[in-house]
A and B are shown apart, each in its own frame.
Chain A
Amino acid sequence: MKSVFSLLPDQASEFARQIDHLYLFISAVSVFFVLLAALLVIVFAVKYRRRPGDKRPEPPHDDSTLEIVAGSGLLVLLMVMFFWGAKLYFQGNQPPKDAMEILVTGKQWMWKLQHPNGKKEINTLHIPVNQAVKLTMTSEDVIHSFYVPAFRVKNDVLPGRYTQVWFQPNKEGTYHLFCAEYCGNEHSRMVGFVQVLSQEGYEKWLLSSGGTAAGAAAATGGGAAQESPVDAGARLFAEYGCATCHHSEAGALGPNLAGTFGAEQMLMDGTSVIADENYLRESILNSQAKIVAGYAPVMPLFQGMISDEEVTQIIAYIKSLSTAGTDG
């Protein structure tokens, strides 16, 4: 980690470099105005100090010209910050299509991480360099926040829904991972590292059956450490009987799910919705909330019958149906 006295901290992605540019721009503007204000106050305090026998000063003529000119000028500068910041923010919320997806579950007080091939780890995330990585995150209890300063990214991790964060590291190394949202007693110990490896290093690490994976499997109580989320989802899809209604043949009671993820769904009430992770989650747990047009509301509610982890796996499977099996 760079010294805290260096101007900028470790930069481990292109996004971090772009954030730093914006940061330096706002810093320059701020330093300029703070120094200007300080200079004027000091100069005036000295130059116009009260001397014995001074006459009473004239009251100012206020015609608002100065205020309007200064205010408009400032607004232009502020709009530059706004658009610049909004552009990067938008980009930061749009993971590339080919991003590798890692499932993240936050709980008091650890990060549970699962790779596409099913390998699990805790608190240390291994990822390959120069590969876009998308995290799909949820929490088992309170709100957490996944924060990697070296990538300049952060997003809250919420119970009962999915949030995302993505980054593309461009430098191998070990970087801090913090929980940024206060989550109770051991909040400051809900920390870890992101280890950015070379492509080969990552492949090798994936195939190793190191202590991490075994430990993770034990800690999460899952014996299926090496079953990928998609495979697990496919298994659950069959076990819960989803395929009885959700199939491609004529007369199916439920919509065929191939191609559903990411597509617009027309609903019974005339509105439409993009089928993202949160929509799928709601449709599994509380299927009556948004019914796809042309289907009867006959699906049972799975709330309380199915674990969070299982929902996530079924969603991973449904997503794989839309990417023609290239996922995982």
Chain B
Amino acid sequence: MSTATSTASEGKHYLNAKHTVLSWLLTVDHKRIGMMYLVSLVVFFLIGGAAAVLFRLELMTPAGDLLRSETYNKLFTMHGIVMIFFFLIPSIPAVLGNFLLPIMVGTRDVAFPKLNLASWYVFMLGGILAFVAIVGGGVDTGWTFYTPYSTMYANSNVILAVCGAFIAGFSSIMTALNFVVTIHKMRAPGLTWFRLPLFVWAMYATSLVVLLGTPVVAITLVMIFVERAFGLGIFNPALGGDPVLFQHLFWFYSHPAVYIMILPSMGVVSEIIACFSRRRIYGYKFVAYSSLAIAVIGFFVWGHHMFVSSQSTYAGMIFSFLTFFVAVPTAIKVLNWTMTMYKGSISLEAPMLYAFGFLGLFTIGGMTGLFLSTLATDIHLHDTYFVVAHFHYVMVGGGVMGFLGGLHFWWPKMTGRMYPEGWAIFAAIVIFVGFNLTFFPQFQLGYHGMPRRYHEYPADFQVLHIMSTAGASVLGFGYLLMAGYLGWSLKFGKKAGANPWDARGLEWETSSPPPTENFLVPPVVRHEAYAYEFESETSPESHPSSESSA
């Protein structure tokens, strides 16, 4: 691939191909769209994070002294809506997936580039509506919009927020559709299904969940709209409706949505662990199929959110039983990643530290899920801080750690610059410590009976709340630190070669950053995925060590 290197030296790539603002806003280049998503998601993450800082400060004391209860309720709602619909769900697919998936399958762009650009506009429209709902008075229903509170009792901008989430859903659908078609139809010659990187498998499984699940939540949100706006009785018993019906419809999407948030992260971690262990993933096929298994089983467990919501005892038993089956492929994946390291050649750069962080936190998140799938313990733990801690371990400890690991891993590819390694390692450790200090005490709070979404609480719980708030400050500092050095590296970072990690995969065979057309010569795949046992085909002078001397 000496051609790729020669382009890099000519200095034409997707970032400097055109310079106007309009060239970004009207681009159909999947890489530029991925970067636009990255910028938007950072903004949403800051908004959601700021809300969390404010309510964590309130929770330092048992009395509601910093914020009024309305404000507190609006803040946790905003945190949930923004983080779930406008950060976690799009995070890896829309940023890393958009940027990498076409390159990983060896093609020039996604199947429908204009649809891809449309997805960003649709996403921003949804985001702006949600933002207007927030600044124009707020929403206080919780991100779950439970009825009949949301449809008949809440005095806040429910309709606007529901519209925002509804519209944003279409952008997920557009992205997912693009990925499915691209993976099916546009793979490079020689790139069979079982030569695909596991990241691509994860994107495929995620896209199926998005395509099948999102329409259901869209319909559900429309039902909230018509009941609230026109008084058409669907969920409110006073109008002949059924409030628990809403929970069934909502969780039919929102439980699989957990897998929308975690499967992509699993894909990222597979790439990182293989690269930094210099070894093909242990049980490649098993990991690939387990993503699909999780995606499928994930659609049959929604009722475990309703063990104490008047669902029949027998339905509860069936949902509990099925839920345990999700745990098996998930646990085996952790085993596969660990076994990949066995007899590997391991180096500990920041992406690998994030992968370790993922393994530790996600394992805790998964194991604590067992307390909640077990019927009897869930009776006690449902709607307490135990649940809050559990899903943060899964979605932040798993989802966000994977996203950050991937961001560092592919940062040289996306920007053409290396991030500063020392700072990155420091920030990864700060984030790991801060995260655990924030959320581990919440397991204990939950088992001792502290209910979630409480503005005030009995004084006995205070010590653990203070620990949690202290942890949140450490965590926030870690994120800001990372934003700082990543921003710095855009201008001052060391120039990255085509393959700075000596990694395998088509994205490392083109220059960093890639040219607009991704590959100057259409690639042909001759190896299995993760062929780390062979020397790289990327010319050695593109390694940073040798490049600096060139």
Q: Which residues of A contact B (CB under 8 A)?
A: 1-5, 8-9, 18-19, 22-23, 26-27, 29-30, 33-34, 37-38, 40-41, 44-45, 48-50, 54, 56-60, 62, 64, 66-67, 70-71, 74-75, 78-79, 81-82, 84-90, 92-93, 108, 141-143, 145, 147, 149-150, 152-156, 158-161, 163, 176, 178-189, 191
Determine if B380 and A67 form an interchain contact, defined as CB atoms under 8 angstroms apart. no
Determine if B448 and A149 form an interchain contact, defined as CB atoms under 8 angstroms apart. yes
A-B pairs, top 9 by smallest CB distance, nearest first, are A149-B449, A160-B237, A85-B374, A88-B376, A89-B375, A30-B367, A188-B454, A44-B341, A152-B380
The answer to whether residues A154 and B380 also contact, given A41-B341, A184-B153 and a CB cut-off of 8 A, is yes
Determine if A143 and B460 form an interchain contact, defined as CB atoms under 8 angstroms apart. no
Contacts of A67 in B (CB 8 A): 283, 286, 332, 335-336
Give Cα distance in the complex from A15 to B70, angstroms.
36
Contact with A along B370-384 (1 / 0, CB 8 A): 110111111110111
Q: How far is the CB of B397 from chain A (nearest CB, A)?
A: 12
Determine if B335 and A70 form an interchain contact, defined as CB atoms under 8 angstroms apart. yes
Give Cα distance in the complex from A321 to B321, angstroms.
39
Chain B interface bracket (under 10, 10 to 19, 20 to 34, 35 or more): 35 or more
Contacts of A66 in B (CB 8 A): 283, 335, 339
Q: How far is the CB of A273 from chain B (nearest CB, A)?
A: 13
Give Cα distance in the complex from A54 to B445, angstroms.
48
Determine if B313 and A186 form an interchain contact, defined as CB atoms under 8 angstroms apart. no
Contacts of B280 in A (CB 8 A): 59-60
Determine if B153 and A48 form an interchain contact, defined as CB atoms under 8 angstroms apart. no
Contacts of A142 in B (CB 8 A): 146, 148-149, 152-153
Determine if A50 and B313 form an interchain contact, defined as CB atoms under 8 angstroms apart. no
Determine if A161 and B380 form an interchain contact, defined as CB atoms under 8 angstroms apart. no
CB-defined A-B contacts under 8 Å, sample of 14: A48-B344, A49-B346, A50-B278, A56-B535, A74-B327, A89-B320, A158-B237, A159-B243, A160-B243, A180-B383, A182-B142, A182-B453, A188-B456, A191-B458
Contact with A along B38-64 (1 / 0, CB 8 A): 000000000000000000000000001
Give Cα distance in the complex from A66 to B534, angstroms.
26
Determine if A57 and B343 form an interchain contact, defined as CB atoms under 8 angstroms apart. yes
Give Cα distance in the complex from A141 to B282, angstroms.
54
Contacts of A18 in B (CB 8 A): 376
Give Cα distance in the complex from A62 to B457, angstroms.
52
* Residue B122 is within 8 A (CB to CB) of chain A in the complex: no
Give Cα distance in the complex from A3 to B458, angstroms.
12
Contacts of A75 in B (CB 8 A): 324, 328
Contacts of B278 in A (CB 8 A): 50, 56-57
How many A-B pairs have beta carbons closer than 8 Å: the answer is 285
Contact with A along B521-542 (1 / 0, CB 8 A): 0000000001011110000000
Determine if B283 and A48 form an interchain contact, defined as CB atoms under 8 angstroms apart. no
Determine if A89 and B341 form an interchain contact, defined as CB atoms under 8 angstroms apart. no
The answer to whether residues A26 and B453 also contact, given A48-B344, A92-B376 and a CB cut-off of 8 A, is no
Contacts of A45 in B (CB 8 A): 341, 346, 348, 356
* Residue B548 is within 8 A (CB to CB) of chain A in the complex: no
Determine if B308 and A37 form an interchain contact, defined as CB atoms under 8 angstroms apart. no
Task: List residues 306-352 of chain B with CB under 8 A from any CB of chain A.
Answer: 307-310, 313, 316-317, 320-321, 324, 327-329, 331-332, 334-336, 338-348
Give Cα distance in the complex from A85 to B69, angstroms.
36
User: In the complex, which residue of chain B has the Cβ closest to the Cβ of A175?
Assistant: B449
Task: List residues 348-394 of chain B with CB under 8 A from any CB of chain A.
Answer: 348, 356, 359-360, 363-364, 367-368, 370-371, 373-380, 382-384
* Residue B73 is within 8 A (CB to CB) of chain A in the complex: yes
The answer to whether residues A37 and B380 also contact, given A45-B346, A60-B282 and a CB cut-off of 8 A, is no
Contacts of A60 in B (CB 8 A): 279-283, 339-340, 342
Q: How far is the CB of B461 from chain A (nearest CB, A)?
A: 6
Q: How far is the CB of B382 from chain A (nearest CB, A)?
A: 6
Determine if A183 and B149 form an interchain contact, defined as CB atoms under 8 angstroms apart. yes
The answer to whether residues A37 and B334 also contact, given A48-B346, A56-B532, A57-B532 and a CB cut-off of 8 A, is yes
Give Cα distance in the complex from A28 to B368, angstroms.
11
The answer to whether residues A89 and B384 also contact, given A4-B444, A34-B364, A142-B149 and a CB cut-off of 8 A, is no
Give Cα distance in the complex from A299 to B309, angstroms.
31
Q: Which of A27, A30, A149, A187 interacts with B455 by CB under 8 Å?
A: A187
Give Cα distance in the complex from A220 to B237, angstroms.
22
User: In the complex, which residue of chain A has the Cβ closest to the Cβ of B369?
Assistant: A30
Give Cα distance in the complex from A257 to B87, angstroms.
57
Determine if A9 and B447 form an interchain contact, defined as CB atoms under 8 angstroms apart. yes
User: In the complex, which residue of chain A has the Cβ closest to the Cβ of B273?
Assistant: A41
Determine if B344 and A37 form an interchain contact, defined as CB atoms under 8 angstroms apart. no
Give Cα distance in the complex from A176 to B310, angstroms.
22
* Residue B277 is within 8 A (CB to CB) of chain A in the complex: yes
User: In the complex, which residue of chain A has the Cβ closest to the Cβ of B327?
Assistant: A78
Determine if A143 and B331 form an interchain contact, defined as CB atoms under 8 angstroms apart. no
Give Cα distance in the complex from A187 to B461, angstroms.
17
Determine if B282 and A22 form an interchain contact, defined as CB atoms under 8 angstroms apart. no
User: In the complex, which residue of chain A has the Cβ closest to the Cβ of B281?
Assistant: A60
Give Cα distance in the complex from A104 to B464, angstroms.
32
Determine if B310 and A163 form an interchain contact, defined as CB atoms under 8 angstroms apart. yes
Q: How far is the CB of A160 from chain B (nearest CB, A)?
A: 3
The answer to whether residues A147 and B449 also contact, given A142-B148, A188-B69 and a CB cut-off of 8 A, is yes
Determine if B69 and A182 form an interchain contact, defined as CB atoms under 8 angstroms apart. no
Give Cα distance in the complex from A181 to B154, angstroms.
14
Determine if B308 and A62 form an interchain contact, defined as CB atoms under 8 angstroms apart. no
Contacts of A5 in B (CB 8 A): 444, 463
